[in-house]
Amino acid sequence: MTDAITIDQSLVDRARTAAADIADDIQRHIDAHTTDSTERATLRLLGVTGVNEIDVPLVNVVVEHARALLPGGVIRPFVDLMMQKGKSAQEAAEAIARGELALAEVPAERRAAAEARATELAREGVARIDGVRERRNALVAEIGEPLRPYVYVIVATGNIHEDAVQAQAAARAGADVIAVIRTTAQSLLDYVPYGETTEGFGGTYATQENFRLMRAALDEVGTELGRYIRLCNYASGLCMPEIAYMGSVERLDMMLNDSMYGIIFRNINMRRTFVDQYLARLLNARAGIIINTGEDNYLTTADAFEKGYTVIASDFINEAFAERAGLEKWQMGLGHAFEINPATPDQVVYQVADAQLVRQLFPEASPKYMPPTKYMPGDIFQGHIIDAMFNFTGIFTGQDIMLLGMLTEALHTPLLQDRYLSIKNAKYVFESCRHLRDEVRFKSGGIIEKRAGDLLSRAVDQLEHVREVGLFAALEKGEFADVERDPEGGRGAEGVFKRAADYFNPVFAALRDGRMSGPPVGPAPGTRTAAGEGRPS
């Protein structure tokens, strides 16, 4: 290990204490509320899928019909109806959509039976997730595991079949993680589209069928290359827990699942978002999925040099939320970014300080380092050099997940050749500098150590302030990313419901009980010579 920068442990302890208090305060709100999307995700776990005759998802239809019952939870009346009519979950949902059946309060004498059956069905749904996680573990052990940092690239054509072609090409060039960017503004849709899609703008619709198709394509190329290729998509927006469920059963390996990104950058109601992220993260925890958080985006609207401490503060908050949902440390892909203005003297020195601080504060996590975007020039050659310095900073500070920058970042969605050049850039830097961090020491009292200490101190000040005023008020005042949001406003506010005293949803307990632990383990890293791999370490 590289000699570490000196960090004041008392500041770290204060940061974690404040973050825990902030998360506990929000957890009280979470435990007192449910949402449209939480109840829809519950129905999906029972096995409800498909759409009605006008392509409205059946889970939306059922929840809309049950709106007056939602404070008590949809699962009890839904399962009672199944039992009374002798129908499966899918059959009951289809009958409700046709207007043949209706949900109603469950009579007292039938409650115990309905709740017992609902608990059984919830456990069966969770068992399906466990089976998918076991399959991943087996494939990683069989196929093999790439060296870290994972080379993470994006595909975003709008056509899932073209995405699959590009994803396989990227894997053959050396990519380890493929992220399928969602079509523009899907996060604002209060439903999940159904089936495969071939039209999208700036990305491809996140649907369960699209997840299945891409997973199959990556398994095919992974077997060819001798390393397991990971798939990433977005569990964020108004359907956050539903998409997390879909990812858990279609074997996604990473999901963007931030607790505050949708609030800040998509103006989704914060009271809804915090409730939804809890179930989404419970699902991701159970499925063995690494979550990626969105702190990097803060630095696209706020100055990275002056406001870098907000990234650190938010990482602590996201860590606390993740712990409350049962995510293990290795599943926390906490976000940060290489976004200081390149014209800043000693820019890379400061970037190393920021990245090294994140690595040391969260040593068991899997930090996701994001590339430069805000100051990327139209000069593609200069941009390629800046990306190389980002790659250098990532390997030197021991980041786990590296989303590669593209030389045409400022111009257009990357073409295949652009992605190939970016992967080639990263592979060269990673292999040529792989053990550099083991050979150097940080200067005591130097620029890097002073910068890291200042960031941590300011992050602690912010966390303690947020604890005092509350996270809702801090978001309202724009204390993260310089973006102000109304706690009562934003998209989806009408879909938040205060839980009744008899609220019932056994899915939460089923997801927490009897969980597996630990990441999938393959052959020792660095022992293969498959295409795209570096020399043995």
CA distance 140 to 142: 5
Q: For 370, how many CA atoms within 13 A lie in the half-sphere containing its CB?
A: 22
| CA–CA distances in Å: residue 482 to residues 293, 375, 425, 478 | 18, 18, 33, 5
Task: Identify the CATH assignment for 1-32+293-469 out of 3.30.300.180, 3.20.20.440, 3.90.1150.10, 3.30.110.70.
Answer: 3.20.20.440
pTM for the predicted model, two decimal places: 0.95
Active site annotation includes 374: no
> What secondary structure letter does DSSP report for 187?
G
Any idea how long the chain is? Answer: 537
- First-to-last alpha carbon distance for the chain, in angstroms, is 14
Catalytic residue among 191, 368, 387, 420: 368
Report pLDDT for 202. Answer: 86
Give the pLDDT score at 529: 33
Q: Please state the domain extents for the chain.
A: 1-32+293-469, 34-124
Q: Which of 258, 296, 387, 418 is an active site residue?
A: 296
Which one from 191, 205, 245, 261 is the annotated catalytic residue? 261
pLDDT of residue 417: 83
Q: Please confirm, yes or no, whether 368 is among the known catalytic residues.
A: yes
The neighbour count for residue 65, using CB atoms within 10 Å, is: 18
Cβ-based burial of 109 (10 A; exposed 0-12, middle 13-18, buried ≥19): exposed
**pLDDT value, residue 530:** 36
Q: Mean pLDDT by 10-residue block, N- to C-terminus, for the chain (537 residues)? A: 85 98 98 98 98 97 97 98 98 98 98 98 98 98 94 94 96 97 94 96 95 98 97 95 98 94 95 98 98 94 97 98 97 97 98 98 97 93 96 97 90 74 97 95 96 98 98 97 96 97 98 92 50 31
